[in-house]
Copies of this chain bind each other. A is one copy, B any other.
Amino acid sequence: MVNSIQTEDKILIAAREVFIREGYDGARMQHIADEAGINKALLHYYYGTKEKLFTAVFERVFTEILNRIFSLMEEQQSLKVFLDVFFREHITFLLSDPRLPAFIINEVSLHPDLLSNIFGKFSSYGIEKFGMLVEKEKEQGLIAPGTDPLQLFINILSLSIFPVVIEPIIRNVLQMDTKETETFLRQRIELLPEMVLASVRKENSKK
C-alpha cells in the first residue's frame, strides 16, 4: 500500500480547512476532496459520510483549542504572569486564525450535541489549576476574597476571544481598515493584564 495514514491525515487537514472556511452546511465534499488533492471516492472510502468526517474534524479542532487554552495555565507563578502570558499567546493565536472561534461558536450553537461525544477527551484540569492560583493570591491578600475563579476565567476568555471574532463588525461600524483593527486588537495584549488585575484587586472589593 502507498500510505493510508498519511492520506487519512491529509484528508483531515483539508476537511478542517474547508469546514472552518465554509461551515458544515456550506462545505462540499467535492471541495474537501479537491483541497486534499484526491477524489471523492477516496474521501468516502476513508470517512464514509460527511457527518462522520465533520465529527472527526470538529473533535480534533475543539480539543486542540481547549488544550491550547488549558496548557497555558499550568503552574504559573502569579496571576500577573499568567495574564501576561495568556493574553499574548492567545490573542496572537486568534489573530492568526480569526475564523476559527466563529466556526466553533456557530457549530456548537447549531448542534449542541456535537459536544456530548467529545466530553471526557480532555480534562477540566486546567480550570482547577487556575482556581488554585486564584485561591493562592487571595490568601496572599492580592485579590479580593469575593472573586469567583470561574467568572474571572470566563471574563478572561471573553476579553481575548470576542473582540477578535467581531473584528469585521468593528471594522465596518467604525470605518477602519484591517491594519487599523489589527493594531487596535494587538493593543489589547498590553492593556488587558493590567485591566483584569485592577478588576480583582483587594481595595476594590465592596463586600
Residues of A at under 8 Å CB distance from B? 22-26, 66, 98-99, 102-103, 105-106, 108-110, 112, 115-116, 118-119, 124, 127, 148, 150-151, 154-155, 157-159, 161-163, 165-166, 168-170, 172-175, 184, 187-188, 191, 194-201, 203-204, 206
Contact = CB atoms under 8 A, between A and B. Distances in A.
B168 A157 contact: no
12 contacts: A23-B23, A25-B26, A102-B106, A103-B109, A108-B166, A112-B168, A148-B191, A154-B162, A158-B162, A194-B204, A195-B199, A201-B204
A10 B159 CA distance: 38
Contacts of A116: 172
Nearest to A27: B25
B106 A172 contact: no
